[in-house]
Amino acid sequence: MALLEIKNVSKLFRADGKDMEALHDINLSIKENEFICFIGPSGCGKTTLLRIIAGLEDPTSGAVYLSGKQIKGPGPERGMVFQEYSLFPWRTVLDNVAFGLELKGLPKDRRYDLARQYLKMVELEPFVERYPHELSGGMKQRVAIARALVNDPLALLMDEPFGALDAQTRNIMQSELLKIWQGEKKTVIFVTHSVDEAIYLADRIVIMSARPGRIKDVIEIDILRPRNRTSPEVNRIRDRILCDLRSEIFTC
């Protein structure tokens, strides 16, 4: 069953008196509990599309539907995790995670109980009284993921969340994210520039063209998890995706 429907979405931006088309006629259905990765050249509109799904941008034409209802703005049924950690530096880890629950008006004891549950899930319970400047990059992103999940969204939207991490931490965070996804049964829509990351994480990879962004190909990754990053099956998919991406500039 489709949780999210992207129908005929296009997006124009006005710059220097001219219209610039960022996205052109995007159509895609995303199922409940599916892990989708978007990949494509820089400037192809991946983040713009994610922001439209989040309700932070309006499409110029077309619409996005979540559970049959048109998205017309931000909502708690969509949790967003950005590449920048976007934590409040003056709030503790516990208060950062509890922030959305505070906005909902939950009593302090209840929101702290929920925040601690999710911090335990991301293995940060010992750090509840720390401040963001006292955490590593990977720990900050765990806080951001916990903060998004504590509101029990239907979909988790992630915009290159591990892009600023070193390679070893990034691999660890990918594995941790899969454990969280498998436990929480959320739909995840994940933007990345990394082919390896997309293959390791996704049920389906959506390859976008150069601007204006179109859906060029959708690849289903029918490999059991945990995936061997150097297996022949993974290498074949990697070659196919790289060829797709290179063909925007060169002929494979």
pLDDT tens-place string over residues 166-187:
999 999 999 999 999 999 989 9
Average model confidence (pLDDT) for the chain? 93
- Whole-Å CA distances, 98 to 102, 128, 144: 6, 11, 11
- Whole-Å CA distances, 234 to 173, 179, 196, 207, 240: 19, 20, 9, 16, 10
**What's the rounded Cα separation, in Å, for the pair 144 and 244?**
32
What pLDDT sits at residue 6? 98
Unique residue bearing structure tokens 């409040």: 88
What is the band of 248 on the pLDDT scale with cuts at 50, 70, 90?
Answer: low
pLDDT per residue as tens digits for the range 9-48 = 999 998 777 889 999 999 999 999 999 999 999 889 999 9
**What's the rounded Cα separation, in Å, for the pair 227 and 232?**
11
Locate the domains of the chain by residue range. 1-77+153-164+172-252, 87-151
Residue 137 has pLDDT above 70, yes or no: yes
Q: How far apart are the first and last CA of the chain?
A: 36
What pLDDT sits at residue 84? 79
CATH class of 1-77+153-164+172-252: alpha beta
Concatenate the DSSP letters of all residues of the chain into one string.
-EEEEEEEEEEEEEETTEEEEEEEEEEEEEETT-EEEEE-STTSSHHHHHHHHHTSS--SEEEEEETTEE--S--TTEEEE-SS----TTS-HHHHHHHHHHHTT--HHHHHHHHHHHHHHTT-GGGTT--GGGS-HHHHHHHHHHHHHTT--SEEEEESTTTTS-HHHHHHHHHHHHHHHHHHT-EEEEE-S-HHHHHHH-SEEEEEPSSSB-EEEEEE---PSSP-TTSHHHHHHHHHHHHHHHTTTS--
Residues in the chain: 252
CA 247 to the chain's CA centroid: 25
Residue 99 has pLDDT above 70, yes or no: yes
The C-alpha angle with vertex 239 and arms to 234 and 245, in degrees rounded to 5, equals 125
pTM over 0.85: yes
